[in-house]
Structure 1
Amino acid sequence: MRSTTATCCATKTNTDVAPSSQAVKQAIQWMLRLRESGNDPVLSEQCERWRLATPEHELAWQRVTHLHRELDLRAVPGASVAMQTLEASQRRLHRRQALKLLGGVALVGTAAWLGKDLDSVSSWTSDYATATGERRGIRLPDGSLMQLNTRSAVDLAFTGQQRLVRLRQGELMLTCRGDQPLQVQTRDALFESVEGRFTLYQQGDCTQLGVSQGKVAIHHPGLGEVQWIDSGQDWRVDARGAQRLERLDMDAMAWSDGLIVTRDMRLADFLAQVSRYRQGYLSCSDAVADLRLSGVYRLEDPEQLLHLLPQTLPVRLRERTRWWIRLEHAA
């Protein structure tokens, strides 16, 4: 009965009060997490406690779930797609009414709705995430330092029995503290260290590990036994197993200092790295793809970085817009 009363009160004040953008975002996160978990009872109870914590939480929940029903949203792949869905549904739900349902913030755009330019639902529903070009440092509950590179997302599971970080996408660097193992789960394997410092980069078909301090263990079914990696080593781990990388054309740790440090790196591979830190299209012609470059490049301004390349390589920038750049051979 109490739950029914709360719902009725929230419905009554929907047209007069608007929840904050933060409350709306949290409500959307709860909705997606419940759906992904198959309405797990423990998660449902946590969501219920969140709703009862403040009237604003309950109001945000009612508005998000109401709009979900009205627009029949089966998934929320991003603000742009949500806006397209909203536009297509104007005959069933007036635009002004829909915007009111989310307090005027949820579907206006990524800046107002999420506050960050994140790349997927998995990013903005994670415990910590970074936008394109963003790097972020987080102090973990055990005192360890975690740094997230651009377009990265992680979840934390810290209990009395384990310290676990789940890398959902992107790249992180961990400096471990404490006397218990700190574990990182990626799509390909489980990594573990006690006092190590290492990076993990989850790519499309593998996870790349770089160890700069201490030792890191790789737990992988294909290895048969735990593989311990020493400081100064780099490894590639995929579904089949693990392989040591003898020579890298880029410093795996430099991004934490805001740098790309290359060693005889192909231009095409270099541009693929730079594209991680900027929006839009970036490529090069086959004629210049195999040109090599070595140096130290700052990530704080990718556009300026690109405009410096013609000073050291026989290339020119073809720019249709600031979002579309292609490098070609200089005439």
Structure 2
Amino acid sequence: MGPAHPPPQVVKQAIHWLLRLRESGHDPALAQQCEQWRSSHHEHELAWQRVLSLHQDLDLRALPAAGVALRTLETSQRRLHRRQALKLLGGVALVGSAAWLGKDLDALHAWTSDYATGTGERRSFQLPDGSLLQLNTRSAADLAFDQRQRLIRLRQGELMLTCNALQGQGRPLLVETRDALLEGFDGRFVVRQDADCTRVSVSQGKVAIHRPGHGQLQWITSGQAWRLDTQGAQQVEQQAMDASAWAEGLIVTRDMRLADFLAEVGRYRHGYLGCSEAVADLRLSGVFRLEDTDGLLELLPQTLPVRLHQRTRWWVRVERMG
């Protein structure tokens, strides 16, 4: 008799198959591969059926039978975007474990990316041209290298790129974000995509900003940081945080607001982390290790007049002392 619930990693594989089939439209070869995966082990079929059973929660049309590609996640009212579908999937206990889903939700969001990290994870990747790509927490990027260019699309989060102009054999090395197209040359730079802008910091070398409708390139040189949005590009004169320290597992702050600091730490952990308005504008300078965010938070009362109000490990609020 098979298990009551398929293993989490098998459920993730089943969702991955579903998304691949959706994206392919109608690909008989891919559908055949999926069918072979399902029939190779009883846990695979169980996981597949569990995923399909979510159709009522996702408000889907009838899903395909065995061997038929999943053509669409569309209803008569709306088409669910892949990420919206994953959010809905994340709200259902696929394997009877809400904790597992919460932990891996970021990974689910990034499954269709070439490179991705989960919450609190930092990874390094050697690219085909020899460049070094590093991804910070909750980040995802796609790679499109061809005969004309080397393109990295930052879908979410933050990357650091270490590159050499000679590696490309004449092909430009480009990083695309929602706000701009950046060209890297010899050196190292960080690109971060926030909700309202893209931030670029250059540690070594230089980066060119390509903007539609602008005839001339704008240059970011070593030691500079810029903010790019729909209104234009502006140099940031003073930064409250070292933009590249995360690659060494650190947060390095310089007179940073406590509320902003907690928002940054919150990127590396699950659950709620915030503070009261009474302490939001307190300033913080120092070097903090990311490997243990619980321990990091415990340091705050030693340097600021605050206390930690902790309901659970996943709910922490910083309040005024007393």
User: What TM-score bracket applies, with the shorter chain setting the length?
Assistant: 0.7 to 0.9
- The aligned amino acid for 1:245 is V
Q: 1:78 to 1:172 in 2, by over 3 A?
A: farther
1:27 and 1:64 in contact (8 A); partners too: yes
Say which of 78, 81, 84 aligns to 2:91.
Answer: 81
Which residue number in structure 2 is paired with residue 161 of structure 1?
Answer: 148
What is the CA distance between 1:248 and its match in structure 2?
0.3
Which residue number in structure 2 is paired with residue 194 of structure 1?
Answer: 185
Are residues 1:324 and 2:311 paired?
no
What is the CA distance between 1:156 and its match in structure 2?
1.6
2:38 and 2:44 in contact (8 A); partners too: no
SS, match of residue 277 in structure 1: coil
What is the CA distance between 1:136 and its match in structure 2?
0.8
User: Which structure shows the bigger proportion of residues in helix conformation?
Assistant: 1
- The aligned amino acid for 1:107 is V
Which residue number in structure 1 is paired with residue 233 of structure 2?
Answer: 242
Which residue number in structure 2 is paired with residue 137 of structure 1?
Answer: 124
SS, match of residue 77 in structure 1: helix
What is the CA distance between 1:217 and its match in structure 2?
1.4
State the Cα deviation string for residues 22-41 of structure 1 (Å, max 9, x = none).
Answer: 66534532432443x4x457
Q: 1:48 to 1:59 in 2, by over 3 A?
A: farther
- The aligned amino acid for 1:157 is A
Say which of 295, 313, 319 aligns to 1:304.
Answer: 295
CA distance in 1, matches of 2:263, 2:217: 33
CA distance in 2, matches of 1:320, 1:275: 16
1:27 and 1:60 in contact (8 A); partners too: no
CA distance in 1, matches of 2:200, 2:32: 39
1:267 and 1:291 in contact (8 A); partners too: yes
Q: 1:222 to 1:239 in 2, by over 3 A?
A: farther
State the Cα deviation string for residues 65-104 of structure 1 (Å, max 9, x = none).
Answer: 6555543244232654232xxxxxxxxxxxxxxxxxxxxx
CA distance in 2, matches of 1:137, 1:293: 29
CA distance in 2, matches of 1:79, 1:181: 39
- The aligned amino acid for 2:221 is D
SS, match of residue 263 in structure 2: helix
Which residue number in structure 2 is paired with residue 205 of structure 1?
Answer: 196
Which residue number in structure 2 is paired with residue 47 of structure 1?
Answer: 30
1:188 and 1:207 in contact (8 A); partners too: yes
Which residue number in structure 1 is paired with residue 176 of structure 2?
Answer: 185
Q: 1:146 to 1:53 in 2, by over 3 A?
A: farther
Structure 1 residues 272-311: aligned runs within 5 Å: 272-311=263-302
- The aligned amino acid for 2:229 is D
Say which of 165, 175, 197 aligns to 2:162.
Answer: 175
- The aligned amino acid for 2:87 is P
What is the CA distance between 1:292 and its match in structure 2?
0.8
Are residues 1:107 and 2:90 paired?
no
What is the CA distance between 1:170 and its match in structure 2?
0.7
- The aligned amino acid for 1:251 is D
CA distance in 1, matches of 2:157, 2:270: 16
SS, match of residue 309 in structure 2: strand
2:113 and 2:140 in contact (8 A); partners too: yes
Q: Please, what TM-score do these two structures have when normalized by structure 2?
A: 0.78
Say which of 137, 142, 156 aligns to 1:150.
Answer: 137
What is the CA distance between 1:125 and its match in structure 2?
2.6
Q: 1:175 to 1:58 in 2, by over 3 A?
A: farther
Which residue number in structure 1 is paired with residue 218 of structure 2?
Answer: 227
CA distance in 2, matches of 1:319, 1:20: 32
State the Cα deviation string for residues 183-240 of structure 1 (Å, max 9, x = none).
Answer: 1111111111132311111101001001111111112226443222111110111122
What is the CA distance between 1:46 and its match in structure 2?
6.9
CA RMSD of aligned residues (A): 3.1
Provide the aligned length of Structure 1 versus Structure 2. 290
CA distance in 2, matches of 1:312, 1:112: 35
Higher mean alpha-carbon deviation, 305-314 vs 174-183, is at 174-183
Gaps of 5+ in 2: 61-84
Gaps of 5+ in 1: 1-14, 84-105
SS, match of residue 221 in structure 1: coil
Q: 1:162 to 1:52 in 2, by over 3 A?
A: farther
